[in-house]
Structure 1
Amino acid sequence: MMKRFNSERGNSFRVPRRSRVVIAAALLATMSSVVVQAEAAAPQDPAWYSYVLGPATPQVSPVDVEARGTVSHPNSLVKGKGKETTLTTVAGGAPASVLLDFGKDIAGAPYFDVTALEGNPTLSLATSEARQYIRTRAATTVSTAAATGATQVTVASAANLEVGNAITFGTGANAQTRTITAFNTTARTVSFTPALTAGLTAQTATSSSPGAPSSDESRSLAGVGGIDTLQPTATGRISGSYHGGFRFVLLTLTSPGSISLSSVGVDFQGVRATPADYKGWFLSSDDELNKMWYSGAYTLQLNLKPAGLNGLPDQRIYDGAKRDRSIWTGDLLVQGPTAMSTLGDEGAGYVKSSLDVLLATQRADGAIPGSPDFSKGRNPAGSPLFYSNNYSGYGARAVIDYYRYTADRDYIVKALPALRAELAYNDRSLTANNLVASNDRDFWQASQTGEVTKYSIDYYILLKEMAWLERQVGSAANADADDAKAEAIKQAVNARLWNPQLGAYGQSSTHPDVMVEDANALALQYGFVPADRQTSVLNALKTLWTPYGAIMGPGLLDPTGHTIEPFGNGMETAGRFAVGDAGGAFDLMRRTWGPMVDEDNPLYTGGFWEFKNSNGGVNRATASLAHGWAASPTVQLTEQVLGVTPVDAGYATWNIKPHTGDLKWAQGSVPTKYGNVAVQWQANTKTEWFTLHAETPADTSGTISVPVGDRATVTVNGRTVCKAGTCSAYQGTVADGYAQLTVPGGTYDITVSRG
């Protein structure tokens, strides 16, 4: 398993957000080039600590409060001192409530310290990731006609009304909006001011501004969440139930009476990672990209379920903080590498435990479920959902990823028969044309028909992954067969699914003229696109871009209505990095994930969102705003920008190849089985000057690739090894704008200068 990254970090040290990149640049500029031992810790840079989003303490306090109705001294709940906060509700009046904002998503049980109460108060406790879903609009109709001048009408239902809120009768130009002064849920009457200026007929549509408590959680899916009803009978601490992911807590006194509170908070229940818990880290000259790395890491932490929580004995990686709170294979493709590259052994433990649940539910025909524990309802264990053939293949790839990052040989040897069975199951969809045909769903929940480009590429990826694994722990003959089948698929995709009019690959044989993001992105990432077609595909993909990210493709709408998938956008950024378009990758990252790390965005949670609409928002309350499959920037900034990737299992061999784009510098550390791989680099594209410092573990080896121009001189630890395209040491080669050097584990200071 991975060695932990032990460092002397002062956890109380915090750098103001506006200063941290400046400090990091100063530290980087003054770092010594003295040779150190290969196992030495990475250079310590406290500037990255302030990006860490995990709460510093197990008890989390709100950062803001908003009161409605009769509430005295609400700000005491934020300040933690001052006069007690008292909520008072009278019959027929506006229910007293406080809306608590914790600034970002957290998880756990909200609590309230009660110091006094009158009557028999009933409290409603609702949580939400987004403020816009914490209160519910009333939606009803007028049940009895009302005359001009009326100040009271009878409605079909008085639910969700609140005194002081707006109520609208009718629609369009004839709508009349008034202010609610009183309502009676038994008589179903609502009083308002001013009087009606035109009469209302029965069945007139009626709605109100948001008022009554609501929750954006899905109890039916996750077995947690929903609205808690609390009925305190004495002073002391009262706690709500566990809630998996929320930024806001709405406490409403729904019955007549009063209640006084001295403090409120949340007992954080989950993985609360502080800087000391990070085994990998990242920092660069771009503040927005830095925020993305740590938001992805925090999203993953919000998705982790510790053993014992919610009645389950094992650790699991769920897809989202609040929904579905299930293991999903597609999500694991992003979550697994994120967990292991940020939390090291702890993250690997969650991956392994989740894979155990997945493999235990494999069908006799080899199919792995898309989710082994979906639709839990009141049963936390849930039941397997065989979502799609494609997701079955994702499950096998997630197992292989675990081995690639950890080198847990015993585990993968035991799992190999299951993976071979899954491969055989997926092979049933291969046509005589060496393409995959399946009337099957994928990550955006809609079916695709014919011989599908993305499904074919996905099967190619699985075959290549299995070939790598077979050579590591299995059969060389199997590996050769898998490689041959994969190569046949690649040739078939290029021969049959390329569309010259699109300048890209079509969706499928039945929809050849439909431009899609995911298939073309994967084609770039996995080497399907010949060099003379790469620019065409990159340009075609840009036709799908909006200010908020790339849409899936014309006509490819998720049934729930969203159009921008961070999961798919992550495929495109990976594809752009793969063909050297770091500038395009950064541009798309900033469009897609930039708004998610903007603390002024109303939907900010500190986590990454499941999806977006074409206008950059979300379209339903159950939209997950801390969803693991969206965390690809964390992995890609580590592997493509810092440049560190595993080649053989556990990083026994590794590759360091930074894609610099418009960045001036980057640095960080990656945990491995053998020790940490630490990298820092600086670049000046105008002068073609580049320096890289790498510390790699003993007993490993790898390649270091640095960007070079045609006339560049490359020195390693003070020795010139490449000049004007010719290298004399480290088996050096120069191609595609990089000088590649093969080196044993150790410490390297590499400089590139114009010759």
Structure 2
Amino acid sequence: MRVFVLVWLLCLCEVEGRKGWKGPWERYIRAPEDKRRIVPRGIWKTEGDVDVDVEEGTVRIGEGGWVSWEFGENISGRVCLVVEGVEGGLEEVSLAYSESYLFAGPVPDATTDRRMRDLPLRLGVEGPGEVCVGREFVRGAFGYFTLHVPKDGDGDGDGDGDGDGGQGWFWGVGMGGRISGLGRKKKRIAISEVRVSCSSFPSQGDNGREAYTGYFSSSSDLLNKIWYAGAYTLQLGSIDPREGGALIDYNRVVDHNRSPAGSWYSNFTISEGGSVTTDGAKRDRMVWPGDMFIAIPSIAVSTSDWVSVKNALRVIFKNQYFDGRLPYAGPPMGVTENREFSDTYHLHSLLGVFGYVLWSGDLGWLGEIWGRYLFALHHSISIVDDMGLVHVTSTADWLRPGMTGHNLEASALLHTVLSRSATLASWLGRDVPPLWAATQTRLETGFSRLYCPETGLFSDNIGQRSCYPEKGQPYSPVLPQDGNSWLLISGANLAPSGLPFRSPKSPSRAPSPLPHGPPTRRQISQKLRRRWLKHGAPCPEFPNTISPFASGFELLGHVHSGEVDTAVELMLLEWGHLVNGDGFNNGSTLAEGFRIDGDVQYPAYPSRARNSLAHGWASGPTWVLSEWVLGIEVKTPGGGEWEVKGTLTKWLGWVRGGVTLGNGGRVEVKVWRVVSEDEKGVVYEVRAEGDTKGVVAGMKIKGGERVVVLVREGDKGEGIDLGEVKVVGVEEDEWYRNTVVGCGGEEWVFDEDWKEPKMEEREQGVVDWGVMEENFRTEVWEGWEAHVGWVKEASDL
């Protein structure tokens, strides 16, 4: 497709500053309007002795009965009950939470990995009035809340908590029980209100809807839902640092808690400050660097929650090890003698620095941590050996197996980090060491050792997972989704010599040209697409899994290869399942991952209930849609300069959106398809506010100005300068039906004949159950048993 710039219009008019972006797209926002008081949408299910009085608005629950309320979307916070009365000497009730309706009932879903489900929480009730769970029992994410009146014998009566009302843990709820005291009056409770005080996104105010500093709207209802689901996922995952650490098994190494297996708290301080972004709302509620590459730009284009981002990065660098390595995650990791480490997450921390500084403009903080940054970077450079690849010694990554040796993903990550480190150095006015470029050249040579001519993709590492197995080993190359995607993102020369190594451990090269020529980015993008299944992109490096984390890398790999249509198609396929699939909390937030057949189970865990349905690493589409479809690319720290160069994908008839830049400026973009007689084109209308400037199709624009650019499709003649134009407007809800009129009288109107393409039919994924069980993760970390003694304690209890 050839395009020609035809017209542009400059309008000198300041737009009055607004806190948010008002418009019909606000209906997609899932955040609460008043997070201090969230009430259920209704009762989802009841069982046993339950009476619902609609007129009085009261629910009465007797022994053995339970009621589950649904909220309509994932929420978080502290539950309070308005009790109208109790009977039969009732002193306590049982509470349970679940993100998905699949696990709603008297037994909660799972946050820890020591039981298939969490223990229900005991809440003491003394009579009429309001009773709330203690602050330490804030539940990070749930869409369903269940109140159960246990029968005598269901609980042990000895809770270990000291929250409001005498809180602790029920041990036998839902497992039967005995009824004692024949002839006595049955226990019963009457509830007139259930409400939740949400403690997420503490730096964004009480109205979560007004926290949005960016917006997205398009002709695709599904893409709109996906964008806002990603944004809301990140809101729920931004928490008060004092309410972190739901994984008490990790916390025990630091706080020495003796809470029983299956219990949970949100009371571990994970960073400094008043707000911090974490990996997940339900679990793990910790700072995980792996999320930052995707999460930070997605936060940038949606809520600009820089306080939460900065506190997350600060805690990682604060706990840097003596040899320059950065911890696998924030506290409780990284603060004990375990020194948990991941070669890849170490690099993700450095990428997080780039994303934060680029969007926020916080060069002062970059200068403060620059020495630590270089110390960390040169640790990774030091482990590039004579194979020309990063030699990984840590098995830790995003829970995927096989992370050892001369690894493709880690090496491509380092190549990317080196490029962005050079940019950071230039922003600080620092010299770029020649070693950085030299290391990238070495890595490019190393990549060629992993190329598999038979498949056109690169293998995971040197060894059994490569195309050149050791003598006697089977030929079973692993062609990873993450590593091949990172190669595309990195911008590396994929075939520096035009020839691959015959053997990854030999210095000699193949004597003849490759049968299909050297690999290209577009070819790799196409080959990744061909592997897609009915519910998304599988990751061979983690069998049975579809991961929106690794698929987020693939989205970026496609757009960096110029294949924006392919990236958006993957969003519709995979994230469409996360939004519409059975059990995924009505699409309000985005899950950690799921099984290859579409089931809600994340194959890292034996418990289906443990999957986090609000995990920030799944928010890739929020970033990609704003930067590569709308096309708002920030060029300098804080957005002082930017460029609009989006691609109106074949999946859209129109799109609009805006972002707030780190320096306070704003950019709004509208794009729509137009026709004029026998020609077609695309119109870009861009407005800028504040102290900022940008470029739109070669046309310069600064704050207070508007540019309208018409780009013609096809090869019909030269571009014609039509001079000044006017846009004949219609109702704002249908702004894309505006008519663009040139001074020559040509009228360009919305292309009413455009239709969204039909999605390709794909095969259903099939689970390999043997491999599935081999990859379950049940340990906290290697060697953790030597540091905690709770296993025997819990079994004795």
Q: Same fold (TM over 0.5)?
A: yes
Report whether the alignment pairs 1:583 with 2:568: no
Cα offset for 1:565?
0.8
Q: Per-residue deviation at 1:40? A: 5.7
Q: Which residue identity does 1:68 align to in structure 2?
A: E
List aligned pairs for 1:353-752, cutoff 5 A.
353-374=311-332, 386-440=340-394, 441-478=396-433, 480-493=434-447, 495-510=448-463, 511-512=466-467, 513-528=477-492, 529=494, 533-553=520-540, 556-557=541-542, 562-598=544-580, 601=583, 603-604=585-586, 606-619=588-601, 620-662=608-650, 663-672=652-661, 673-684=663-674, 687-697=679-689, 700-705=692-697, 709-711=714-716, 718=723
Q: 1:385–1:242: structure 2 CA closer, same or farther, 3 Å change rule?
A: farther
Amino acid at match of 1:134: A
* Identity in percent: 25
Decide whether aligned partners of structure 1 residues 108 and 712 sit closer, same or farther in structure 2, where only a CA change above 3 A counts. farther
CA distance in 2, matches of 1:564, 1:258: 45
Residues 681 and 692, structure 1, Cα contact 8 Å, conserved in 2: yes
Q: Deviations over 1:20-50 (max 9, x none)?
A: xxxxxxxxxxxx9782436665996511110
Going from structure 1 to structure 2, the CA distance change for 1:82 and 1:38 (only over 3 Å counts) comes to: same
Q: What's the CA shift string for 1:575-597, capped at 9, x where partnerless?
A: 11222222211221111110222
Letter in 2 for 1:275: R
Cα gap change, 1:711 to 1:412, in 2 (>3 Å): farther
Spell out, residue by residue over 1:166-207, the C-alpha distance to the aligned partner (whole angstroms, 9 max, x if none): xxxxxxxxxxxxxxxxxxxxxxxxxxxxxxxxxxxxxxxxxx
User: Once the 2 structures are TM-superposed, how far is the Cα of residue 450 of structure 1 from its aligned partner?
Assistant: 3.4
Task: Report the equivalent of 2:11.
Answer: 35
The verdict on how the C-alpha distance between 1:304 and 1:607 changes in structure 2, with shifts beyond 3 A counting, is same
One of 81, 95, 100 as aligned partner of 1:112:
81
Describe the superposition over 1:424-473 as per-residue Cα deviations: whole angstroms up to 9, x where unpaired. Answer: 11122201132112143322332333322111111101111111111110
Provide the residue aligned with 1:87 in structure 2: 61
Cα distance in 2 between the residues matched to 1:249 and 1:260:
16
Note if 1:124 corresponds to 2:109: no
Cα pair distance change 1:444/1:600, threshold 3 Å: closer
Letter of the 1:287 partner, please give it.
Answer: D
Deviations 1:325-347 (A, max 9, x none): 10000111122112222112xx0
**Contact 1:41–1:676 (CA under 8 A) maintained in structure 2:** no
Amino acid paired to 2:413: D
| 1:406 Cα deviation from its structure 2 partner | 1.2
SS at match of 1:696: strand
**What does residue range 171-210 of structure 1 map to in structure 2 within 5 Å?**
none
Offset of 1:642 from its aligned partner?
0.6
Q: Could you say what secondary structure the match of 2:405 adopts?
A: coil
Q: Distance in 2 between matches of 1:470 and 1:648?
A: 13
Structure 1 segment 277-296 matched on structure 2, within 5 A: 277-296=211-230
Post-superposition offset of 1:696: 2.9
The amino acid across from 2:308 in the alignment is: Y
DSSP 3-state at the match of 1:417: helix
TM-score, normalised by the number of residues in structure 1: 0.73
Task: Kindly indicate whether residue 146 of structure 2 is the aligned counterpart of residue 246 of structure 1.
Answer: no
Alignment of 1:327-342 (within 5 A): 327-342=287-302
State the AA in 1 paired with 2:293.
L
Q: Secondary structure at the match of 1:604?
A: helix
Rate the CA distance shift 1:267–1:565 in 2: closer, same or farther, 3 A.
same
Aligned to 2:225, what secondary structure does the other structure show? helix
| 435 and 659 in structure 1: CA distance in 2 versus 1, 3 angstrom threshold | same
Q: Do 1:134 and 1:216's aligned partners in 2 also have CA atoms closer than 8 Å?
A: no
Distance 1:419 1:107 in 2: 35
Deviation at 1:300, TM superposition (A): 0.1
Match for residue 323 of structure 1? Answer: 283
Whether contact under 8 Å (1:359, 1:418) holds in the other structure is: yes
1:373 counterpart SS class: coil
Call closer, same or farther: CA 1:236–1:363 in 2, change over 3 Å. Answer: same
Query: CA–CA distance in 2 between the matches of 1:534 and 1:623?
Result: 33
Counterpart secondary structure, 1:594: helix
Change (3 A) 1:106 1:280: same
Aligned to 1:170: none
Note the C-alpha offset of 1:56: 1.9
2:511 aligns to what? none
Q: Please state whether the residue corresponding to 1:489 is helix, strand or coil.
A: helix
CA distance in 1, matches of 2:722, 2:213: 27
- The alpha-carbon deviation at position 384 of structure 1 amounts to 8.2
Give me the whole-angstrom Cα distance separating, in 1, the residues matched to 2:582 and 2:599: 14
Letter in 1 for 2:187: G
Question: In structure 1, how many angstroms separate the alpha carbons of the residues matched to 2:192 and 2:718?
Answer: 68
Structure 1 residues 655 and 488: alpha-carbon distance in aligned structure 2, compared to 1, 3 A threshold: farther
Contact residue 319 and residue 328 of structure 1 kept, 8 A: yes
CA distance in 2, matches of 1:521, 1:643: 21
- The one-letter code sitting in structure 1 at the alignment partner of 2:221 is D
- 8 Å CA contact 2:359–2:634 kept in 1: the answer is yes
Q: Which amino acid aligns with 1:64?
A: G
Cα distance, 1:273–1:382 mapped onto 2, change above 3 Å: farther
1:54 shift after superposition: 0.6
Q: Does 1:59 align with 2:37?
A: yes
Letter in 2 for 1:517: Q
CA positional deviation for 1:660: 1.3
Question: Would you say the 8 A contact 1:373–1:385 is kept in 2?
Answer: no
Distance apart, 1:360 and its partner CA: 0.7
* Displacement after TM superposition at 1:552 (Å): 0.7
TM-score by length of 2: 0.69
2:331 match: secondary structure: strand
- Give yes or no for the alignment of 1:215 onto 2:109: yes
Tell me the matched-pair count. 593
Structure 1 residue 712, shift from structure 2 partner: 6.5
Q: Once the two structures are superposed, what CA deviation does each residue of 1:594-647 show, in whole Å capped at 9, x if it has no partner?
A: 022228655435110001101112322111000000001101111011101111
